[in-house]
Structure 1
Amino acid sequence: MTGITGSDEELAQRAIGLLELTSLNNDDTVERIIALCHRAMTPFGPVAAVCVAPRFAGLARRTLDDWQAREIKVVAAVNFPGGTASTQTVESQTQAALMAGADEIDLVYPFRALMAGNRLAGAQMLTACKAICEGRAGLTVTLETGVLRDPQIIHDVCRRVIEVGPAFIKTSTGKVCVNVTPQAARIMIEAIAELGGQVGFKAAGGVHTLAQANLYLDMALSRFGPLWFGPDKVRIGAASLLDDLLLRLGMCG
């Protein structure tokens, strides 16, 4: 299948609609999250989603609703960033975020436990989180592929996660030394294809430019075709990418 085509301006505008604009810093403030929501409503259309800590999910949802931007999803990141919380803690974070108004949950898979040989921790946490989200919110599972590293490990965990049925699998938190890579993205996309192409793909961590975003968007489009080219199937998670997209469209970030 062919990849994405068009001028830089066309590609930048398309990428805005697939962007998950992120602020997941320890020092985030009310003012910063409100500013994030304002940036999400660009002159060229809304981004797909904003991703924030659970404690800010309600603020983000209320802010976007007040500005008539209900179409922008609010994603709350749980077990973030280290993936070391207990299943009970993750359940509490998830319930609180959903009650506050989050539309989606982004669960960091317990990758450190997996690297230590413990597969059960991931299975239990994912099953518990999926049960809470069922019928209420979409679930993304972030795999931290830069830490997992080994292609076979990444492939195996992708298949196990996909079989549970999340809405998306995601490459990285953006908080480790190695985040999204083309190799990891290809492995994840192929695992999605092997199991029917029903789970979406998110590239995140280190995506700062239109060229970098297009690399990952092109992988997904080339594998699955134009019907997959929407925010319910493919997204780019980033904090600074919007600056470059706006510059391509003749604006300052």
Structure 2
Amino acid sequence: MKTDMSLEQAARLALQCLDLTSLNEGDTPATIEALCRRAVGAEGRGPVAAVCVWPRFVAQARAALPAGIQVAAVANFPDGSLDLPRVLAEIRDIASAGAQEVDVVLPYAALQQGQAGEVAEFLAEVRHATRPLTLKVIIESGVLKTQDLIKEATRLALMAGADFVKTSTGKTPVSATPEAARAMLSEIQASGLGHAGFKASGGIRSVADARGYLQQVADTLGTDALQPRRMRFGASGLLDDIEAVLAGQASQAVPSAY
């Protein structure tokens, strides 16, 4: 299903679906204040879908943002250990601080070691603890590498009730790739879950790259999925290129994955 979207159309869609993210060790309240200012949409171009921050900044972000922009925070991040008490405590803190969304790392190393049952139980507990918040499960596709493991991780997340399956933490050498997206989207389609979404995250800096992922979503899930309830981008630098394209300037970023 080819959409033949222009770069400007892709930029507008990517903006609507953007989880504007800052997950750097050196983040400060000033960092988050600046991030939230950008999130509300300079010069009337429109707000992003969400702002994604460390749990300690959730309350600040929620107070700074209008209700229409969601606040997301990460748990079990970025290591993805099987430490259930730790992740449940983090989820409680995130929810009580006022977030609407949680991005949790699937225990990908455990999955690589054949512990699929343990991973499934972990995800079931996480899903129970996160309701009614939106749950995005990060599978760390660049570490899993193989199509079989990427698909298995996607299935486990969807079976547990994840609202989104997300490619990467952005903290490993390989983040989002078209190949990983293809495998994940095929599992979402095969699941028959009409609400389940896909989040491309890590290393996406150009509108041209974003357009490639938007096209994959349209091809696999249909053009109706090109909206924030089914499609997200996790990025910090992508907004720079979106703003350049929407201002009528040449794209400022060099495409990588596409």
TM-score (norm 2): 0.92
Q: Cα offset for 1:126?
A: 1.0
Q: Identify the range of structure 1 (8-17 vs 73-82) with the bigger mean alpha-carbon deviation.
A: 8-17
Q: Cα offset for 1:38?
A: 0.7
- Return the alpha-carbon distance in structure 1 between the equivalents of residues 3 and 160 of structure 2: 29
Counterpart residue number, 2:208:
211
- Residue 204 of structure 1 aligns with an amino acid whose one-letter code is S
Q: Cα offset for 1:226?
A: 2.0
Matched, 1:236 2:233: yes
Asked if structure 2 preserves the Cα contact closer than 8 Å seen for 1:87 and 1:124, the reply is: no
Q: Which runs of 5+ in 1 are unaligned?
A: none
Q: Cα offset for 1:169?
A: 0.3
Counterpart residue number, 2:107:
110
Asked if structure 1 preserves the Cα contact closer than 8 Å seen for 2:82 and 2:122, the reply is: no
Counterpart residue number, 1:9:
8
Counterpart residue number, 1:61:
62
Q: Cα offset for 1:44?
A: 0.4
- Tell me the SS of whatever aligns to 1:45: coil
Mapping 1:7-46, distance limit 5 Å: 8-42=7-41, 43-46=44-47
CA spacing shift, 1:234–1:12, aligned 2, 3 Å? same
Counterpart residue number, 2:175:
179
| 1:120-175 per-position Cα deviation (integer Å, ceiling 9, x unaligned) | 332232111110122x2110000000000011111112112111111100000110
- Return the alpha-carbon distance in structure 2 between the equivalents of residues 236 and 55 of structure 1: 22
Mapping 1:151-190, distance limit 5 Å: 151-190=147-186
Q: Cα offset for 1:85?
A: 5.7
Task: Report the count of equivalent residues.
Answer: 247
Asked if structure 1 preserves the Cα contact closer than 8 Å seen for 2:217 and 2:223, the reply is: no
RMSD: 1.5
| 1:65-102 per-position Cα deviation (integer Å, ceiling 9, x unaligned) | xxxx2111111110111112610000000011000001
Asked if structure 1 preserves the Cα contact closer than 8 Å seen for 2:13 and 2:226, the reply is: no
CA spacing shift, 1:166–1:4, aligned 2, 3 Å? farther
- Return the alpha-carbon distance in structure 2 between the equivalents of residues 9 and 224 of structure 1: 22
Q: Cα offset for 1:27?
A: 1.0
Matched, 1:223 2:220: yes
- Return the alpha-carbon distance in structure 1 between the equivalents of residues 143 and 30 of structure 2: 33
Runs (4+) off by over 6 Å: none
- Tell me the SS of whatever aligns to 2:89: helix
Matched, 1:196 2:196: no
Q: Cα offset for 1:251?
A: 7.8
- Return the alpha-carbon distance in structure 2 between the equivalents of residues 251 and 97 of structure 1: 39
Q: Cα offset for 1:223?
A: 1.4
Q: Which runs of 5+ in 2 are unaligned?
A: 253-258
Mapping 1:72-91, distance limit 5 Å: 72-84=69-81, 86-91=83-88
Q: Cα offset for 1:4?
A: 4.7
- Tell me the SS of whatever aligns to 1:120: helix
Asked if structure 1 preserves the Cα contact closer than 8 Å seen for 2:84 and 2:122, the reply is: yes
Q: Cα offset for 1:103?
A: 0.3
Asked if structure 1 preserves the Cα contact closer than 8 Å seen for 2:18 and 2:234, the reply is: yes
Asked if structure 2 preserves the Cα contact closer than 8 Å seen for 1:169 and 1:202, the reply is: yes
- Return the alpha-carbon distance in structure 2 between the equivalents of residues 62 and 251 of structure 1: 33
